[in-house]
A and B are shown apart, each in its own frame.
Chain A
Amino acid sequence: MFKYQFRWDTVWGSFDFLMGGLQMTLIISAITLVLAMIGGLIIALLDMSRFRALRWIGISIGEVVRNTPILVQLLWVYYVLPIVFGVRIEALVALIIGLALYQASFISEVYRSGIQSVPKGHREAAQVLGLTPLQSFNRIVLPQAIRMTLPPLASNFVQLIKFSSLGAVISVSEITRRGMELSATNFRPLETFTFIAVVYFFICWPLAMAIRFWERRLQAR
C-alpha cells in the first residue's frame, strides 16, 4: 500500500469521458425527479381517495416499492417487464422508470405530510368565511404544503444522484458505469473510483448543506 505509485494521469486522461458520464447522471436524476414528482402526486391522490379500491391500489404500490430493494426493482423492470409485455426496453428507460417509481413512493409521503402539516383550523377559517373546499385547498392548503415539501423534494434529488449509480449494473452509461469501464482498461480502480466518489461527494454535499440551511430557515418562520 505504501509503495503504491499513484497514477492520477490515467484519470485526467479520461476526464472528458467521465464528465460525460456525470452529465448523464445529472440528466437522469433531473428527469427522474420530475417523473417521480408526478408519480408521487398520483400515488398521494390514490392514497387519499374517497374510493376504497383506489386507496388500496395507492397504498399497495407504496408498500411494495418501499419494502423491496431498489436494485431488485431495477433488475425487475429491465429484465422482467420486457418478458411480460414483449417489448425491449432500453437500459436508460428502464433505469428512469425504476428510479422514478421508487422515488415516487417516497415523494407521495412527502406530499401527504405536507398537506397534513397545515393545521385544520386554517381550513376551518376559510370554510367559515365562505371559501369553497377547492378555493380553500388552492389558496390556503397548497401554498403552505408546497413550502413544506420543497426541501424534502430537493433531498430526493440528492438521493437520486446517488441511486442513479445503480444504472451501472444494467450498463447505463452514467459516471459510475464509465468508471467501471475505465478501470477495466487502465487497471487503476483506486484512482478511478476514488475520483468518482469525490465527484459525487462534491455535488451532493453542498446540496445537502443548502437544504439543511433552507429547512432551518423554514422552521424559524
Chain B
Amino acid sequence: MSNPSPLILADGITKRFGANQVLTRVSLEVLERDVVCVVGPSGSGKTTLLRCLALLEEPSEGRVVMEGVPISTPSPDKQVKAAARDVRSEIGMVFQHFNLWPHMSVLQNLIEAPIRVKKLPRDKAVAIAESLLKKVDLLEKRDAYPARLSGGQQQRVAIARALAMSPKVLLFDEATSALDPELRREVLAVMRQLAREGMTMLVVTHEMGFARHVGTRTVFMDRGEIVEAAPGSAFFDAPQTERAQRFLQQFADE
C-alpha cells in the first residue's frame, strides 16, 4: 500500500454476473482530494467498478477498503458488514439518471437522509440543505418537485443531496450522459467547483475535457481491466498503449 494511505481502495476486484466477467482484478486507489476520472469505451466495466465502490455490488473476488478497513468482500462476514454500515453514508454517489425521489420536494429529498440516518434535528438539516441548494444555485427551487426541474437542475439537486451527508468521497456515474450539452455545462461547473474545494471524487465520465483539465488522475479501462493510468493530463498528451490511443482518436475526430 502506498503512502499516504488511500481514502478508498479497490483491491483486486473481479466481478462476474453469471458467466459474464465484467471486471478482472481491478485495483484502484483514491487518495484524499484526488479527482480520479475513469474513462473508456462503454461496456468496459467502469460503472460496475463504481457500483462496487458504492457498495451496490458485491465483488466476486477482491475487496473494497476504506481508510484501511475492509468494507466489501465476497460473502462478507459480520465485521465487514458492520464496517460497511458505519461508512455507508460517507461514500456519496451521483447517478446517471439522477434518481431523485419524485414524491418529495427538493428540500425533502435533501433532508431525508440527514434526518433518518444521521438523526439530525429537522431545522439543522434544513439549514444545511438550504446552504447546499444555494451552492448549486437552486435555492429558489427548494419547494419544487423533481418533475418540475430540468435534467441539469435535477442533477444539481442530486449532487446537493449527496453532499448533505457530508461524504468523504463522491462517486459520479456518468453524471452528465443523460443531459443535453447546454445542461451538461451547469452540472460540470458544479463538479469543477467541488474539485476546487478539495472534494475527493471518482468520476466515471465521457467528458474528456473534464478529465483532462480537472482530474488529478485519469484511469483508462477496457474490457474489464485498467489498461492505463496517468496523472493529470499526461494520459491525453501521451497515451502509452495502443488501445488508449485508439480510444482517444475517436474524440480527436469529433
Contact = CB atoms under 8 A, between A and B. Distances in A.
Interface of A: 119, 121-122, 124-131, 135, 139-140, 143-144, 147, 221
Contacts of B101: 122, 125-126, 140, 144
29 contacts: A122-B99, A122-B101, A125-B93, A125-B99, A125-B100, A125-B101, A125-B158, A126-B113, A128-B54, A128-B88, A128-B91, A128-B93, A128-B162, A129-B112, A129-B113, A129-B117, A129-B161, A129-B162, A130-B88, A130-B89, A130-B113, A130-B165, A131-B112, A131-B113, A131-B116, A131-B117, A139-B116, A140-B101, A144-B103
B184 interface: no
B92 A139 contact: no
Interface residues of B, number: 25
A143 B116 CA distance: 16
B102 interface: yes
B102 A135 contact: no
A124 B113 contact: no
Contacts of A119: 97, 99
B31 to A, nearest CB: 21
B56 A124 contact: yes
A128 B92 contact: yes
A125 B102 CA distance: 12
Interface string B108-148: 00001100111000000000000000000000000000010
A132 to B, nearest CB: 8
B95 interface: yes
Contacts of A147: 103
Contacts of A131: 112-113, 116-117
